[in-house]
Amino acid sequence: MKGTDMNRSDMNRSGHRQFVIGKKAIDVFPAADPERPIVYLNAFPGEGEEVLNTLKATDCPDFTLAAVSDLEWNRDLSPWEAPSVFKGDSPFEGGADGYLRLLTESIIPKCEEKIQVDPSWRGIAGYSMAGLFAVYAMYRTDVFSRIASMSGSLWFPGFSEFASTHEPAVRPDRLYLSLGDKEHKTRNPHMKAVRTCTEELAAYCRSRDIPTEFKLNPGNHFTDPVGRTALGIRWILSSKSQRIT
């Protein structure tokens, strides 16, 4: 994909739209009804279509999926600066607020204008660092009313303290959190805390009467990210809350 700021827009026979906004690649799969919900998924290139195909194999309600890629994961999705927690990896640059502004002030309005939708609600979803970003967005903007964080990097240094001492900017209609049941079984001291951090966030949100699902999936962090992402999006699309108390 070449070009910047929507100077390229293509649509294939299935309705798939592709364009660029703020140097981010956007793949949009419109619903049949322009008033159906829209879910923004921060992902790697091509993941959005994989997730959608997985959802199409179920009885998932119709919705518009907007997959955003070409992200700098350790910059765009990290809430604040922090040293690397993995050997040989780059440090976290704390660019989430800047990317969130781009997403809410440019990508979303231009995207929805381009594909001519008026969604009944907006959701945000992501896996790993993108799952952390989805939860962080809940504290920083009221744009998204449903949130899905799959294997979210909620171990991120200082995030548990942030989440427990700040009020969300919006009370979500649905919040989905998931984790692999082996993700916390690691020698990495940060990753080791991921299950505790995720369970604490789920308890915090339930205490504020946010309909919250916390699901443990079999496997480690790298087990079936597409399938796990599809499960999360399907849950936030459900009309009936399945809150676990």
What pLDDT, in 10s, does the model give residues 8-42? 333 333 689 999 999 999 999 999 999 999 999 99
Residue 154 clears pLDDT 90, i.e. is over it: yes
Helix or strand or coil: residue 104? helix
Residue 87 clears pLDDT 70, i.e. is over it: yes
Q: Where are the domains of the chain?
A: 10-237
- CB contact set of 159 (below 8 Å; sequence gap of 6+): 79, 132, 136, 197
Cα–Cα distances (Å) from 117 to 13, 69, 80, 96, 228, in that order, read 18, 21, 33, 26, 27
What pTM was estimated for this model as a whole?
Answer: 0.91
Percent of the chain residues topping a pLDDT of 70: 91
Which of 16-30, 200-214, 230-244 is the least confident region? 230-244
**Domain 10-237: CATH superfamily, name plus number:** Alpha/Beta hydrolase fold, catalytic domain (3.40.50.1820)
Task: Specify the pLDDT at position 243.
Answer: 37
> Which is higher by pLDDT, 47 or 85?
47
Residue 165 clears pLDDT 70, i.e. is over it: yes
Residue 114 clears pLDDT 50, i.e. is over it: yes
